[in-house]
Amino acid sequence: MLIGVDLQKSERVLNAAYNNAKGVTAAFNLNVLNVVNTLADADFQPDRFSHQAFYNVEHSRIEMHLISKIKQTVTIGASAVLFEQGESLHTENSYKYSLESLRSLQRRRACKCSVAGATMNSCSACIILVCQSSGLQTV
């Protein structure tokens, strides 16, 4: 099993990365509405929403939201959904891990794993795990 994780960084660095000046992350986040329009027969108008991302310290994650710029009603299939001005549509969580939290996660899962290899820099880690089943079955 190969696991890639984003390591914890300062709140300043994370907020700058997810609110970059060129608007790349904002465009990615707003495109979610185009995907929902296609897959769920919806009529979101992305220009009526703005991107907001922030680091949630308590949960060690970046949260991405789309904020309604105006009071509006969006049709999704046969349903009408009202968005108030300023209302948030939570679109993504991107968790950040410390090495200790990764070790804790490994101890809690249903199989025994040992690290077969790892590479790490100050931003991310790539870990190769060799796992053996502990006899628990998953469905």
Distance, in Å, from the CA atom of 23 to the CA atom of 127, rounded to the nearest integer, reads 31
Is 63 inside a domain boundary? Answer: yes
Number of domains in the chain: 1
Is 110 inside a domain boundary? Answer: no
pTM value? 0.78
Distance, in Å, from the CA atom of 80 to the CA atom of 18, rounded to the nearest integer, reads 31
Is 125 inside a domain boundary? Answer: no
Is 106 inside a domain boundary? Answer: no
Is 133 inside a domain boundary? Answer: no
Is 57 inside a domain boundary? Answer: yes
Is 31 inside a domain boundary? Answer: yes
Distance, in Å, from the CA atom of 98 to the CA atom of 105, rounded to the nearest integer, reads 11
Residue 6's nearest CA partner among 97, 71, 80, 74 is 97
Is 126 inside a domain boundary? Answer: no
Containing structural domain, residue 33: 9-95
How does pLDDT run along the chain (139 residues), one tens digit per residue?
Answer: 566 778 888 899 899 999 999 999 999 999 999 999 999 999 999 999 999 999 999 999 999 999 999 999 999 999 999 999 999 999 999 998 887 777 777 677 655 665 555 566 667 666 666 666 555 444 4
Could you give the angle at the alpha carbon of 38 between the alpha carbons of 92 and 84, nearest 5°? 55
